[in-house]
Each structure stands twice: as C-alpha cells, then as structure tokens.
Structure 1
C-alpha cells in the first residue's frame, strides 16, 4: 500500500468509543433539581403521601437523570401516621428510576437494570409505572434521536402467566420492542431504535403529583373553604343566639302573663268572698 492509500485508510477508520461512565458514579454526583408531592392510593383504597425528587448529573460524556420517591405519611383506618423510618429516606436502589445518556454512542440506558424495586409499603400504588414513565418522558423530550440500549428482561420459570404478561406490559406500554431468546418469551431484550418513539405516559389514576403552584392553589382553596365555613358557622351562631333571645323574651312574657293572671284570679276570688 502506498502512502496516499495508507493515509486514506487511516482517514476512514472509526474512532474508538469510550466505555460508558458508571451509572453509580454519576448517581453519586447528581444534584437535586427540586421536589414535589405525590399522592398515592393502593388498590384497597389506602391513601398515602410521598416526596418525589428529581436529580441530574452532567459530564462531557454523559447526562444522568433520576427520580426518587420516599414515603411521608400513610392513612391507617382514618388516622395519618408516618411511614416506617427506613422508607422515609431516599435509596439508590429502591423507589427510583434513572436514565444514563452516553453521548459518544448516542445511546440511552434505562435503569435500574434489575427493574424498579419498591419498598414494602408501596406495591399496588402504580409507583413503578409512574417512575419509569417519568424518566422515559425526560429522555424522549431531551434526546429523541438517541437509541435505547437493550435491557435484559428475565422472567423466572415459576412465574404465572398473568405475572409474565404484567412484566412484559410494563415495557410494552411505554413503546419498547422485544427480542426473545426462547419460545415461552421469558428471556429476552427490550429496546427501541429511537427514544423519541417511546411513549413516556403513566395512565395510573392512583397517583397525583403536586408541584409548587398546585400546592399553593390547594392551600388557597382550603383557606377559602375555611373562611366560608367560619362565616357559615358565625351566621348559624348568630341565628342560634337570636332564637335563644326570642325564647328568653317569650319565657319572660309568659311568666309576666302568668303572674298577671294569678293576680286577676285572686282579685276575683276576693270579690266573690
């Protein structure tokens, strides 16, 4: 090969891609973006409140975005109580979902890779769907042309058909495609060629997120309702006082009439005698 051909060969060589940065390292440097309130409800009707935090880490190679939830208060038989102490803290492996963007490969990895793990008090609330939809929506809106790196989906042999379909639907309803390695569709990969083609929507009716403006509106509404209730109670109390005054006046009048009637009767008796 002569020198011009050798130079041309080097010119078309693809640059070697750097290995993606560690998601745990990125998580350690992620900075909070803010917190909101989550109102959750179990399928059995139990209400609870949690704190949702968004955080992000940006480097030259990566962009890391994570949402985490911690418990705050839970309603038990009409009484509000605090969550168990361990569930009132943010955890790196529970009640969270994240995405790691790798710019050199123009790819996005969704995590946790083993799936979203909820703490003991939160299953049945739809929180896992909500967290996953939140990070999908962020990735879709921020890097729509990047691809979703394949993630592993493993379903244990003893899992029921209903549970298997539920696990598959968890990714399918966000728009992911599957590549199965077995006929029973228990082991395979979920992926998407363009993140912008994912859905990023949570259709759960058991979760409501309140931002700062929504909380202010709620507080204002509660203040207005309290003011209206206070006015209503004051009006009722005024009417009650008026009724008592009228009854007292009527009682005094009745007593006076009774005394007068007694005097008249006595005078009549004296006249007869």
Structure 2
C-alpha cells in the first residue's frame, strides 16, 4: 500500500486533467460596473435687457405729485412687464406733465417730458435658469435734473422691490452698477448710498471714496420697500375725480356770484343812465325857465 502521507489530492481540470490544490487559484473578484453621472449642462446666458424691453407691454399708469419747496410737479409713472420662457422683465418709467405755481400750470419741456428707455426709469431682468436678478439699465439708474433729488428714486425702487418679493423672493440680486448721483459732490453720493442702504442693499466698492461700485443682495426677500411720502404722493383716480368735481362746483358757484354781480352792475348802470337822463332833462327845463324868465324880465324895461 502506498504511503498516504505522500499522496496529494488531485482535482480534475476542465479538460479532464488533474491538478493539485497547490496550483488551484481563487476566482477573480467581481467588478461592478458603475454608470458615470452625466455632466451638468451649462446654463444659457441671460437674455439681453433691450430684447426683453421690446417684448414688454404697459399694464399700469399712475399720476404722481412731487413737492419742490411746496410747489407740486405732476408727472406720470408707467409700469410695463414682459415674459419669455427664460426671463421676466419689469420697468417703471416717469414722464413729467406740468409744474403748478399758484393757479398757473406751466407745461414742462425737454427730456423729462418724454418716455425714455435709458433715463428716468428703473428696470429689472429676472433670469430663471440661474435664479438671479439684475437691476438696470446697465448704465445705471439716471434721472433728469428736473426730477432728480426729490424722492423719485426711492419710489421707483420700492415699486420694483414689491414686484420682486411677490414673485421671486428666493432669487439672488446680482451686483449692478451704482446709480448716477443726483448731482456731483460728496453730498449727492452720500444720499445715493443712504437710499440704497435703506432698501437693504449691500455694496462692493471699486475705490476707497465709494464713488464707483455695485450693489447686490443674497435674497430678494431681504430687500426693504418704502419711500418718502412727503416728497412723492400717488394721486388716486377717485381723489382726482373728487377734486375735479369740487372744483366744478366751486367754479359754478363763482360763476353764479359773478353773474349776480354783473346783473347788479347792469341794473346800476341802467339806473344811473336813467338818473343822468333825468338830470339832463331837469337841467334843460331849468335853463329854459331861467332864460324865459330873463327874456320876459328884459322885455318889461
């Protein structure tokens, strides 16, 4: 009998041959194939604000009164908006109508009396793919001298912020060019910066003098609405009609009083004319009597 110690267990091979356990190799581990995640598609560029403005239409107008040292300046505000698959657009524009001094209405002329696309307006472009907001025009908000520095900027930003908060409170406000100062000088820049800060904007400056820079906000809902109502007031249609009605009543009453006074004057003139004619007649008769008496007296001598 063969020595069992020297025996090696034989394993059959696939081709029928035997192989020892020493040459037996474990099967390779299974490699699970993973599906590569698709790369994120790049976002489309924001649509041009000029293109969006052309697609917008007017949906509201409001009569406003600006106070200039107690003298009102009347103007109209026009709100227009537009919509595409990618963007939304909002614009508020201003056009002056007249300046009132006492009972005199002085029509205003020049660029402030016309609807303009890049001056006397504030606009917003909303890009949905990036969930971002841009204030414009790109050159910065700029008002004509006739209406600048009278609280109109605060009114425009308040209307724009109200529109944003109602629709896109979670969108971020991208850095936008600082509006042009109402006039040159440090005081004008301080008023501009104070106005934007009051609306909740943050700043990034290009210089230490805080002349050039950009304003932005992380979320639109963090912005603050509100304007100086003592400088800018909205005139409602009901109030306007009530005022016109009251003025018509006052005018009718004045016309009635004037007609009454004129009637009294005509009656007085007629009475004076009659009295004058009577006096002339009496004077004539008196003269005739005197002359007749004088002739008669002379004839006696």
Which category of TM-score, normalised to the shorter sequence, fits these structures? 0.7 to 0.9
In the alignment, is residue 73 of structure 1 matched against residue 88 of structure 2? no
TM-score of the superposition, structure 1-length normalised? 0.72
User: Over aligned residues, Cα RMSD in angstroms?
Assistant: 4.3
Q: How does 1:249-260 map to 2 (within 5 A)?
A: none
Secondary structure at the counterpart of residue 10 of structure 1: coil
Q: Cα deviations across residues 20-70 of structure 1 (Å, max 9, x unaligned)? A: 11111111121111322222232474x322221111111111110101111
Q: Which runs of 5+ in 1 are unaligned?
A: 245-273
2:112–2:147 Cα contact (<8 Å) kept: no
Q: How does 1:168-179 map to 2 (within 5 A)?
A: 168-179=193-204
Higher-Rg structure is 2
Figure out how many residues of one structure are paired with residues of the other and give that number.
Answer: 263
In the alignment, is residue 125 of structure 1 matched against residue 150 of structure 2? yes
Separation (CA, whole Å) in 2 of partners of 1:88 and 1:181: 34
Deviation at 1:231, TM superposition (A): 6.5
Deviation at 1:229, TM superposition (A): 4.9
Separation (CA, whole Å) in 2 of partners of 1:66 and 1:182: 30
1:54–1:66 Cα contact (<8 Å) kept: yes
Cross-structure match for 2:37: 10
Moved more, 201-210 or 53-62: 201-210
2:164–2:220 Cα contact (<8 Å) kept: yes
Cross-structure match for 2:220: 195
In the alignment, is residue 49 of structure 1 matched against residue 80 of structure 2? no
With CA pairs under 8 Å and 6+ residues apart, which has the higher RCO, 1 or 2?
1
Secondary structure at the counterpart of residue 25 of structure 1: helix
Secondary structure at the counterpart of residue 166 of structure 2: helix
In the alignment, is residue 30 of structure 1 matched against residue 29 of structure 2? no
Cross-structure match for 1:100: 125
Q: Cα deviations across residues 165-219 of structure 1 (Å, max 9, x unaligned)? A: 2221121111112234554444443211121121121114222222433433332
Deviation at 1:102, TM superposition (A): 1.0
Secondary structure at the counterpart of residue 124 of structure 2: strand
Separation (CA, whole Å) in 2 of partners of 1:221 and 1:148: 47
Cross-structure match for 2:136: 111
Deviation at 1:117, TM superposition (A): 1.5
Decide whether aligned partners of structure 1 residues 54 and 238 sit closer, same or farther in structure 2, where only a CA change above 3 A counts.
same
Secondary structure at the counterpart of residue 170 of structure 1: helix
Q: Which runs of 5+ in 2 are unaligned?
A: 1-30, 270-301
